[in-house]
Each structure stands twice: as structure tokens, then as C-alpha cells.
Structure 1
Amino acid sequence: MHKISPSLYIALMVSFGGFVFGFDASVISGVVSFVAIEFNLTDWQQGFVVSSPTLGAVIASSVAGTISDKVGRKKVLLVIALLYVVSAVCSTFANSYEMLIVSRFLGGMAFSSLILAPVYIAEISEAKQRGKMISINQFNIVIGLSAAYFTNYFLVDLMQSESALATSINLQENIWRWMLGLEILPAMLFFIGLFFIPESPRYLVMKGEQQKAKEVLTKLHGAELMQVELNEIEKTKQAKTPNLLASFKELFSKKMRLVMLIGVTVAIFQQVTGVNAIYFYAPSIFEQSGVGTNAAFAQAVWVGLINVIFTIIAMLLIDKVGRKPLLNVGLIGIALSMILCFIGFNNATYKLTPNAVQTLEINQEQLQPIVNVEFNDDLEFKQALTDALGKQEFKKHEAKLIQSAINIEATFVLAGILGFVASFAVSLGPVMWVLLAEIFPNHLRGIAISVVGVINSAISFSIQLIFPWQLSNLGTALTFLLYGLFAVLGFVLISYLLPETKGKTLEQIEKKLVS
């Protein structure tokens, strides 16, 4: 039986944080509709429940890389894991909107693992396997996303079964707490596992601890390759920058202009194409297509499965095909997928028939003014329902009302969403983190990836926060069209800016990009 290499074992352990992130990030897709009713939330408050972790990520990402340059990658990863544990426990027992926001914010600070884990894995990996090794983190993210979709669907199905188990754990009242509470176990496993990893050898060389670096490299890659890698690292080792201001000055200097432009461009387009709107609101999006709550949660499971399959494909191809081809193919796929969603929702009509109204457990007299009235877009229909029922009652029954009234090619929407997920998973998902971990010089990698990570998180926060508002004010069709147009723009810019980095050592990439 083939023995697992030490570097792969360590990468698997560190990237388990990706699983916790994926679960934490997407479990809210099932939670938000329940807490919106329980705490009587506005569109903006719903958006903030979803996006508050990313706000925490913006703050933490701004310092995580810099702190890891000072105290080490391992110590910062341990703090990150502890934040996941605390957040999961506090979110589960939140008794108010404010407490839920604070708890989710703390968990969001742990999202800085997204920028630190790839850096650590890049620094312990051989050049020929680095893309695949870093992609393990993305693979764990999509496994976590899928696990959250599956457990959410399982809990909703169990709640509606009214079984003895559902009654015994009071699932009807506490379903969203169970959804959030399931994160506690993987968060604890991640925290414990990190005690068994070594410090990054490149960090140790940067701090002048060559002997420890030799020991780690020997353990990871053997004595012969250790000396080769140590020589490469030593060649690019520079004097320690005297202070943070000097590091920033060098980061934004002329010689770093191309590297920063590439990093920021990829980071922006990873988010403005709408990935976290799709992931974090998946059941809500499917409800908008009229499939109903149960089917919406079931289709969200497909999002997770497609994500896993195409992330595996990306891992198999990234060190063979390269980073740039995967990005280009993925962006084209995202644009076409969003156009499919646009066509589906743009051609939809809405009409409540008398028979449909009779099946709804709603005050039927209030709905009479709009019975048999056909609406040509979701904005008109939702506004008419809000006027007739009131905002709270409409939110409570929104999925059933849309399901009863909509006339849509739902397969267009399903194909568009799953096509988007497949395209993202084979490109921007794993490739961005591989690029960010390898394009920056060793001595600036921590601070550089923090800066780019902050920009990525800030865009992500904005997308998540405004998505409910977009659905209520721009409509579903226009929202998806905007994401498609951003993908086209991203394809043009990345095609022009990005060189290929596959198969090169970190030091060779530095020599090529930093002039």
C-alpha cells in the first residue's frame, strides 16, 4: 500500500480548516429563512446575518498575514481554529439578532484561514505538486459546503416528518440552532489537529532558524531535496524589512506593480461574479424558481455535489493544464450560466389562480384583489403580495406563494446555477488561492496576501449584504445578468494580465514577475 507523504498528511490536516470554513459559510443558506421569521428581520438585516462573517474576515485578513510573518504560521492557525469553535458554540445558543451577528462575526475572523492555509501549504510543497496540494484546501471547502447543504436538507426533512426524534429534540422550534450547532465537532477536530503540524520551513529561514528549517524540510521531502530547496530559499532571502510601513512601501512599489495587479484582479473577479450569493442563498434562489422549500433544499444538495466533482477535476488538471486555461474556461462557463438564469427568470410570469389560493393556509380574502392577475416579473408580484398581506406574512409564506403562481422554465435556472457552480469550482475557486500563494515574494508573502485577502473579503461582504436587496429591488433576472457581465469583463482582463506559473518554484516565479 502506498504510504502517504508527510507533506500531504500535513496539507490535509491544515486544509481541514477549509472544511470548517465551507460548512460555516454555507450552513447559513438554510438558517437565514428561519431566523428572518424568528427575529422579524428586514432585507438588510438578513443580508447582514449572511455577510457579517465576511466583515470579520475583512478585519482579520488585514492582519493575519503580517502577524504570521512575526509569530509564525502555526500559531496564527491555532488562534483561527479556536475562533471557529467559539463562534459555533455562541451562534448555536444566540437568543437575539445582535448576539447572532456578533457570534457569526467572530467566526468570520477565522475565515482568514483562507489566505493563511494556502500560504502554509505552498511553503511546504514541492513545485511539481504545489497546485494540487493547495487545491486540497479548496476541495475541503467544497466538501464543507456540501456537508452543510446535506445536513440542512436532512434537518428540514426530519422536521417535516414530525417523527419522535424531531419532537424529542424540539426541531420545529430549534432547527436553525441544530444547523449551526453541527459545526462544533469539526471545529474542535481542526483545533486539535493543528497541534501536530510543524512550522513552515520558509518562515523559519526568514527568521534565521536554518537548523529547524533543515529538520522540517528533511522530514517533508528527504535529505537530498532538502538541500536543493534550502539553497533556493536562501537565494531569495532578503534582509528583514525594518517595519510594517517599509513592507507596505515595497509592496506598492513599481517592481511589484504587475504582481499586485494580477492578485487584486483575480481576487475581485472571484467575488463579483456572485459565487457567495449562489452558495449562501442557494435554497432561497431555488425557491424563487417555484420549486418549494423541500425541493429547494434538495437542489441545494446538488450544488454541493457538483462543486465536489468539478473541484476534483480542477485538482487533477491544475498542474497539467495550468492556471490560466482553467481560469479562462471557468469565466466563460460562468458568463453562459448566468445568461441561462437571466433568460429563465426574465421570461417567467406569475398568476395566482382561485384553486391555488384555496390550497394555501393564508387569509384568502386578502389575496382576492390579485387572484387571476398575471404579473410579468417577480418585483411586481412580490410588491402586490406585500401590499395585500403585509411584509411579515408575505415573508412567512413567500416560497409557497411563488411556487403556486410562477410559470417558468425551472430547468433553465437549475442548469444555470449548476453550470455556474461547475465553472467556478474548476477555475476561480481553487486557482485563485494557488496563484495568491505562489506569485508573491517569500519575504512579502504574508503582508501581500493579507492586502489581497482584505480586498477579496470586502467584495464578498458587499455581494452577500446586498443580495436580498437586489432581489427585492432589481429583480432576480437582472441580478444574474450583472454577474454574467462581470464574468465577461474578468475573462478579458485575466487573459491579458496573467502569465502561467505551473511547474515553477516559488523562487523562479518571484524572479519572473518581480522586476
Structure 2
Amino acid sequence: MSQALRYALIVSLGGFVFGFDASVISGVVGFTAIEFGLSDFQQGMVVSAPTLGAILASFLAGPMADRFGRRSVLKLIAALYVISAICSALATTYTLLVFARFIGGLAFASLHIAPMYIAEVSPANTRGRMVSINQLNIMLGFSAAYFANFLILKLSASDLAWAVIMGVDSHTWRWMLGIEVIPALMYLLLLYFIPESPRWLLLNGRENEARNVFSRLMTQEAMNTQISCIQESVAQGRQSGLLAVRKLFSRPMRLVLVLGLIVGIAQQITGINAVYFYAPAIFEQSGIGTDAAFSQAVWVGVINILFTLLAMYLIDRVGRKPLMLAGLAGVVISMTMCAGSFSHATYQLPEEQRQQILQLDGGQKLEPLIGSRFQDDVAFKNAIKSLLNHNEYLNNQSALLQMSIKVDAKMVLVGILGFVASFAFSLGPVMWVLLSEIFPNTLRGVAISCIGVANSAVSYVVQLAFPWELAHLGIVSTFSIYGGFAVLGFILVAWLLPETKGKTLEHLEKDFGVKKEGANSAGSVLISSSRNPLSESAR
């Protein structure tokens, strides 16, 4: 195993912890909604609180990585994951749970720093695959969380003596959150076995240390060539603070910044985190019941892994842009399938299950609705809400949907899994590869932070709004919105995005014409790009 691969595997373990932390809430939110009596907005806050923390972390991640080093910031991130997992599992109120989840969100800065580190230690011809290891670990984390939630749910319903003694039955959601401590601690310990990024060392005038790291990664000749290229790219001086931000938004950087924003926003606005973080709730909408919803969520994790592996195989062969276009097209098709399936659904509390309905908590109040037929989920849920109090509705929502809905559940499952597959081999891994490639060495930290803020802000809105959208717009409109944004993303990517595979970071910097702020070459690239985004220098 090469040293670069070894370092990438260790650093990308943060992706696993992120994936676990982010998606474990999909199994928790239903339990906490009942235990704390949460409203739609409060449920959205429990799910989206980490992303709110990630917005703040995005402001700080790049500058801190530039100031203190990639490795030091990654260690802080790992420690935050450990603290968040412990505090979340022990939370006694809604407010404490949101705060603990917010702390975990500060650690989501690993999404920006890990790809940056991996790109800076990887050879150009394998950089796409190496950076994609982080995305693969994210998917593994997602899958592990879905599987752990399903296993803990089964244990909570069993009569195993040790499970009862450990309180799995009475503290199910706390076990789901607390188990994250194990991978988070492993991540923190392993980070002590990687070196600092050699490019960061050169940026900070520590050439001997940089040479020592590079000597583990490549031959002497390749090292000398690489160091010369890096020193040439940073000869204009290190950019920091407001000066770096100012230069990032300057005219020569405009095209690159727009490209980064398009890719960063497209990754989230198409609704992927609504699917990841509310997977059981979405499957419950098709009437399959809680246990089946959790088991189908496991399939989301499996599909994630398989198609992320496919992306890793293709990204340095086919290129970044073809994967992005194929993935966005897949999102459009998948969301159309889901929206179309639910648009033909009907909702009716069946007369033959009258006794089961009346035996539910508050079920006597529902007698006037038995036999009534509804054509959409919003009208059906509003009718139930008008008769039950908030806690009764939360306790009975899944059972009532399972009894009443008639929909092609298999088509919904295919649509959701198709959506996940489309994301996993395109938007998921490709975005982080592109962001680690298109920005120059001197601005990479602050640039990724700025794009990360936009990415996290859109993710936060998507997660926070999803329960409200289900309650007020309905599942058909919600999926249609995601599909519409995917169409827009497809058009912009097809029009503007160049190909970057197979080039060193320093060569890409020259290709994009961002080496010197006032250089004529920069202006010419931008001018030609406005006429034809795939100019010769970007191809």
C-alpha cells in the first residue's frame, strides 16, 4: 500500500464519522418527536442543527487550516465528534439535544479539510479516486448508521436479557446516538499517525519538512519537479484573511468561483439530505410500516456504497463532467418516478379495520373519518390533525398511513434508490474532487470555506424545511421541487463546467487563468469562457 493511500484512508475516516453522525438521526427523530412532543419545526431543528453548526464551521475551516495546518484542524474535528456523540446520547431536553447536535455540526468541517488534504498528497493521475475515498467513507458511515439503527430497533423489541439490562428497549434513540463514540475515538487516535500536508508546509516556508513528506510519496525527481511547481504558484505570496477573500471575489477568480458555487449548491438543493436524514419517514409515507421503513433505509446505504465504488472506478477514466451530467439526469428521472407514484395515491381509513383504528390512542375521535377518501397526503393528514391532539397524532401517524394509503410502494422504492444511486456516483464524490482541484494553492482553504458555507446553508434549509413541506405542500410537490432544481443544475453544468481529470493542481491553476490577478491571460480566459465555457485552456 502506498503512503498516499494510507494517509487518504486515515483522513477519510472522518467521512465515515460524518456519514454516521449525519444519518443516524433518521432513526432517532421519530423517537425524540414522541418523547419531547416536537412540532414539525422542532423535528426539522433536531435534524438540521448539525448543518447549522457546519455553516459556522465553514467560515472557519479554511482559514484555520491555512493558519494551523490541515492535520491540527482534523484533530480538533475528531474531538468535537466525540463530545457531540456523548452529549447527544445523554441529552434530557429538546434544547440540549439540538445544542449537542450543533457541536457535532462544527465537526462537519471535515468535509472541506479532508478532500483538501488528500488532494495535496495524491498523484495527479489518481487524485480523483483518492479524494473519492472520503466520499466512499461517508457512504459507509451512512450505511453503518442505517444498519445500526435497524439492529438497535430490533434489539429494543427483543427479550434478550443483556439488551434489557443495558436499557436498549427504554433508551433506544440514545443508543443510536451514543454508539458513534467508537468510530470518533478511532479517528482521533489514527490522526496522530499522518504527517502535515507538504503543500501547506511549503506555503509556510518549511521546505525541509515538506521534502521529508514528499520523499515518502514520490521519487526524488518527481519531488523536485513538484516542489518547483508549487513554489512557482505561491511566489506571489501567501494570501490570508480579508485579502484572500477579496482576491477570491476578484475578476480573475470570478469564473472559478461561479463554477464552485454551481456545483456546491447543486449537490444539496436537489434534496439528497432530505432523503438521507428522513429515509424511514419517507418510506413510511408509502404505508409500509416502521420496521419495514427502517429495513428499506438499510438499502439506501447499500446502494450508496455500490455506486460510490462505481464513481471511484470511473472518475479518473471518464472524467468529472460526464459523471455530473449522468447523475443530475438520474435525479430528474428518479424524482419524477417518486412524484408520479404519490400523485396517484389515495388515502382512506378502511372500514374493515375499524376496531384497530378505534383501539389506537385517541382512536375514538377518528370514527367520523372511517371510510372517507382523500386524494392527497396533505388533506388526509390535516383531517387527522383536526381530530387528534399533537401527541396522539405523532404516536399514530405511521400506523394510520400504513392502514390508509394505496400507492405503488415498489415504484417509490425504485425511485428513491435510483435517486441515491444517481447522487452517489456523481454529485457526492465529484463535488469534493472539483473543489479540491479548481482553486489555486494560495486560496484553496478560503475558497473551499466559502463554497462550504453556501453548500451547508442550502443543506440546512433543505433539512429544516422537509417536515414543513411534507405537512403543507405534500410529498408530490416536495419531490417535484427537487427534480426541478436538478434540471436547472443539469443545464448549468452542461454549459459551464470544464473537465479537470489528469492534471496537476498547479497546471489546473494555470489553465483557469487565476495565477496573477491582473494578468491578461486571466482576462482572456474569462472573455473566451463567456462565449464558450469549454475554452481550449479548460479542456
TM, length-normalised to structure 2: 0.94
Write the letter of the residue equivalent to 1:270.
Q
1:168 maps onto 2:134 in alignment: no
Aligned partners of 2:239 and 2:443 also within 8 Å: no
Give the Å deviation of 1:164: 2.5
Counterpart of 1:134 in structure 2 is 131
1:288 maps onto 2:280 in alignment: no
Aligned counterparts, 1:75-474, within 5 A: 75-241=72-238, 243-360=240-357, 361-362=359-360, 363-474=362-473
Q: Determine what percentage of the aligned residue pairs are the same residue.
A: 54
1:66 maps onto 2:53 in alignment: no
Q: Distance in 1 between matches of 2:320 and 2:341?
A: 32
Q: Distance in 2 between matches of 1:244 and 1:179?
A: 40
Write the letter of the residue equivalent to 1:367.
L
Q: Distance in 2 between matches of 1:12 and 1:437?
A: 17
Write the letter of the residue equivalent to 2:384.
L
Aligned counterparts, 1:14-29, within 5 A: 14-29=11-26
Q: Distance in 2 between matches of 1:12 and 1:331?
A: 28
Aligned partners of 1:330 and 1:427 also within 8 Å: yes
Counterpart of 2:27 in structure 1 is 30
* SS at structure 2 position matched to 1:442: coil
Q: Distance in 2 between matches of 1:407 and 1:140?
A: 37
Report the count of equivalent residues.
Answer: 512
Give the Å deviation of 1:319: 0.2
Write the letter of the residue equivalent to 1:93.
L
* SS at structure 1 position matched to 2:373: coil
| Greater Cα shift, 220-229 or 393-402 | 220-229
Give the Å deviation of 1:178: 0.2
Counterpart of 1:494 in structure 2 is 493
Q: Identify which of 45, 49, 64 aligns with 1:48.
A: 45
Give the Å deviation of 1:71: 1.2
RMSD of aligned Cα (Å): 1.0
Aligned partners of 1:128 and 1:319 also within 8 Å: yes
Give the Å deviation of 1:241: 4.4
1:479 maps onto 2:478 in alignment: yes
Q: Distance in 1 between matches of 2:239 and 2:502?
A: 33
Q: Distance in 1 between matches of 2:40 and 2:510?
A: 49
Give the Å deviation of 1:163: 3.1
Write the letter of the residue equivalent to 1:40.
G
Aligned partners of 2:61 and 2:449 also within 8 Å: yes
Give the Å deviation of 1:243: 4.7
Q: Distance in 2 between matches of 1:347 and 1:390?
A: 29
Report Cα offsets for 1:313-356 as digits up to 9, x if no partner. Answer: 00000000000000000000000000001011111001111222
Counterpart of 2:526 in structure 1 is none
Report Cα offsets for 1:257-299 as digits up to 9, x if no partner. Answer: 0100000000001000000000000000000110000000000
Aligned partners of 1:358 and 1:364 also within 8 Å: no
Q: Distance in 2 between matches of 1:95 and 1:221?
A: 52
Give the Å deviation of 1:161: 2.6
* SS at structure 1 position matched to 2:242: helix
Give 4+ residue runs of structure 1 displaced > 6 Å after superposition.
none
| Greater Cα shift, 164-173 or 4-13 | 164-173
TM, length-normalised to structure 1: 0.98
Q: Distance in 1 between matches of 2:314 and 2:327?
A: 13
